[in-house]
Amino acid sequence: MYEGDYDPETTNSCEAVVDSNQRISPESTDEVRHLELSIDDPAFRFLEGQTIGVLVEGPHAFGNRYHHRRYSIANARSAPNEDESVRVSLLVRRCFSIDEISGERYPGIASNYLCDTRPGDRITITGPYRSPFHIPADSNANLLMIGTGTGIAPFRAF
């Protein structure tokens, strides 16, 4: 999502606290991390299959004030309890892009930002956003699931 898709005047955002950030992939492979976030905003509620946006404030390389990137929520919701914060899990692969001409390697803005967070850090999130996938009411229905990105984040929630 580009800065033009994020408008601080019209997009709801809230703060989340990083509770944990652990590498779950072997050292010999791409880095994939499991993050646990707490959200104390009583209006924040999500459904399985939804995404949240992570807002990284700039300035960034092209002069953008914000970088906004969506991530699939990787956990099922728990029963609502007014006294507890909402817990959200994310799976994040540390990304880089390679310039085809110069061969330079550029870090992904949001993935590196999230992979470098530590417990206690506060981040700004947006959403949750609708999901195009709905679990069938029939619990015996066959499902074919195809993953992109880390591949399994939304499957964990289902």
Per residue, the 3-state secondary structure of the chain, as one string, reads CCHHHCCCCCCCEEEEEEEEEEECCCCCCCCEEEEEEEECCCCCCCCCCCEEEEEEECCCCCCCCEEEEEEECCCCCCCCCCCCCEEEEEEEECCEEECCCCCCEEECHHHHHHHCCCCCCEEEEEEEECCCCCCCCCCCCCCCCCCCCCCCHHHHHC
pLDDT digits (tens, 9 = 90+) for 14-30: 999 999 999 999 999 99
* pLDDT higher than threshold 80 for residue 146: no
pLDDT digits (tens, 9 = 90+) for 82-119: 667 899 999 999 999 999 999 999 999 999 999 999 99
